[in-house]
Amino acid sequence: MHFTKDICRQLSDLEIIHKSLEQVDYFSCLYERYEASLLRYVKRMGVVAEEEAQDVLQEAFIKIWKNLHAFDPSLKLSSWLYRIVHNQAISCLRKKQSFGKGRETDFDEGLLAHIPDDDSGENSPEALEEKDQRTRELIDQLPLPYKEVIVLKFLEDLSYEEISDVLKIPEGTVATRINRAKKALRKLSAQPTF
Query: Model confidence over 127-173: pLDDT tens digits?
Result: 656 667 778 888 888 999 999 999 999 889 999 999 999 999 999 99
From the CB of residue 4, how many other CB atoms can be counted at a distance below 10 Å?
9
Section 74-101 average pLDDT: 85
Q: How far is CA 72 from the centre of its chain?
A: 22
Residue 192, pLDDT > 80, answer: no
- Percentage above 90 pLDDT, the chain: 57
> How many angstroms separate the CA atoms of 175 and 64, rounded?
28
Task: Of 126, 102, 130, give the one whose Cα is nearest residue 116.
Answer: 130
Which pLDDT score, from 0 to 100, does residue 107 have? 43
| pLDDT at site 165 | 92
Cβ–Cβ < 8 Å for 30, 65: no
Rounded to whole angstroms, how far apart are CA atoms 45 and 56? 11
- The CA-CA-CA angle for residues 168, 174, 177, to 5°, reads 125
pLDDT band at 194 (very low <50, low <70, confident <90, very high): very low
18-26 mean pLDDT: 93
- pLDDT confidence of 93, banded at 50, 70, 90? confident
Q: Which of 30-39, 44-53, 114-123 is the most confident on average?
A: 30-39
Mean pLDDT of the chain: 83
pTM for the whole thing? 0.73
Q: What is the CA radius of gyration of the chain?
A: 19
Residues 61-83, mean pLDDT to the nearest whole number: 94
Helix and strand numbers, DSSP H then E, in the chain: 9, 0
pLDDT score at 125: 61
pLDDT of residue 104: 44
1-103: CATH topology is Rna Polymerase Sigma Factor; Chain: A (1.10.1740)
Under a CB-based contact definition with an 8 Å cutoff, are residues 188 and 103 in contact?
no
- Residue 150's identity, in one-letter code, is I
Is there a contact between 147 and 182 (Cβ–Cβ < 8 Å)? no
State how far the Cα of 137 lies from the Cα of 135, in Å rounded to an integer: 5
- pLDDT confidence of residue 145: 93
Q: Which CATH architecture has domain 105-194?
A: Orthogonal Bundle (1.10)
112: pLDDT strictly greater than 70: no
